[in-house]
Structure 1
């Protein structure tokens, strides 16, 4: 049975995001993986403290929160088999259980810009994390080592684009659609 996961590309406009965007020349500088189209279960590597971009690691992201307010985004759907889906779920659970041991791979960001694969134990940047989880589940949509994966690589992968625009506009559309359905069944 096929399952769906979602790949979310964003640009929060933070200082770090603008710095990455300046170096890459790409519109989107952050990537996350989600288990639902409503983006309630979204995971990545990013800032753990909203006030301090230098404290980063594995995070469950709240795309409805202030960090993502007015963020441009692209949302892609990826159909995978149940075994791959369960593998990804299991990997995410492992990250959640040992969340404190994982750190953001700031040095890895610089290495990827120079084309140098540099794996550091328990350190990931966002695109490295998402591609690692996918490849570990035998979902090979990007033909690169995870340590060399950039957010823009996901735009070139064979994924189904389901939305492009403001993340809050997307969430607003979901809310309005759900309310209409509730109204019709009442």
Structure 2
């Protein structure tokens, strides 16, 4: 089976909610997302749908041109690559597509955040924190198994997955600009353009 790659993005946006979570986690990154491509164009998580209203939260397709990452331009991040096989990749894309299609039935698990802070397992149907969503997608796709309940998974737990390969740490915007530079390559090789046959 050929290998495919998926990408795990952990961020510190500096929002008040992120800072609140950081008070008890003491972790450098408190938001987790999963991407189907290295350019982070297919980037998914659970978080606020509208930047100015943190209570309006659920399944989101994230990006630097909208949402929290657009407004928080100094967002710090760490990005990992995870190798999977074709079958796992297809299952992952289907799992994400299912949540995306039924997104109105899903909500952000705010009570789950508070339960994690108390190390209490809270099972809620169709409700995820960001890290619960990422972990659930990896488990549902047969990519990984965790040694703790999904309901207790934190971004730091995801950060400690041994199969992850670190590819970047720094400002998210810098990574985005660097990784998307492939779209801005010169059309002509100016040194040899006059040697081309016409």
TM-score, length-normalised on structure 1? Answer: 0.93
Map of 1:65 onto structure 2: 66
**Would the aligned equivalents of 1:141 and 1:157 in 2 still touch at CA under 8 Å?**
no
Question: Would you say how many aligned residue pairs link Structure 1 and Structure 2?
Answer: 186
Look up the SS of the partner of 2:120 in the other structure: coil
Question: How far does residue 33 in structure 1 lie from its aligned partner after superposition?
Answer: 0.3
Encode CA deviations 1:114-136: one digit per residue, 9 max, x unaligned.
22121101110000010011011
In the TM superposition, 1:68-147 aligns within 5 A as 68=69, 69-140=73-144, 142-147=146-151
Pair 1:163 & 2:163 matched: no
Aligned residue for 2:143, secondary structure, equals: coil
Q: Any runs of at least 4 consecutive aligned residues in structure 1 with deviations exceeding 4 A, and if so which?
A: 181-186
Flag the structure with larger Rg.
2
- In structure 2, the residue matched to 1:17 is 18
User: In the aligned structure 1, how far is the partner of 2:17 from the partner of 2:154?
Assistant: 15
Task: Name the CA distance, whole Å, in 2 between partners of 1:64 and 1:129.
Answer: 22
Q: How far 1:61 moved relative to its partner? A: 0.7
Aligned to 2:45: 44
Aligned to 1:172: 177
* Aligned partners of 2:121 and 2:152 also within 8 Å: yes
Q: Deviations over 1:38-94 (max 9, x none)?
A: 000100000011110011101111134362221000000000111111111111111
- Flag structure 2 segments of 5+ consecutive residues without an equivalent: 194-198
Q: Tell me, what secondary structure is at the counterpart of 2:148?
A: coil
